[in-house]
Amino acid sequence: MDVVERAWSKPLSLAAVKPGSVPSSPGLIELREGDRYLYISRNEDIRPATEQLRTGKAFELVANGFWTPSLDAITASVCRR
């Protein structure tokens, strides 16, 4: 399990993610808000997938009176394959 945990990048808020810092390679993306997982996905190229998520537009469909996403509170981690 240690090997898998070390493969993940350090969590960074979506508001602070810089597209150029995300590798352009196959891998996994994980989004969390506190201790809650919001999204985990395998992608053939994690850079454009992360770029789409970091804008916050993907959350507009599920945002409501009970949950309003904050890009500062949502963290992203990536794992290259």
Residues above pLDDT 90, as percent of the chain: 72
Instruction: State yes or no: pLDDT of 4 exceeds 90.
Output: no
CB contact burial 36-66 (16+ within 10 A = b; e otherwise): eebeeeebeebbebbeebbeeeebeeeeeee
Domain count, the chain: 1
pLDDT tens for 42-56 read 999 999 999 999 988
Per-residue model confidence (pLDDT) at position 1: 61
Q: Return the amino acid letter for 75.
A: T
Contact 29, 41 (CB under 8 A): yes
The whole domain housing 6 covers 2-80
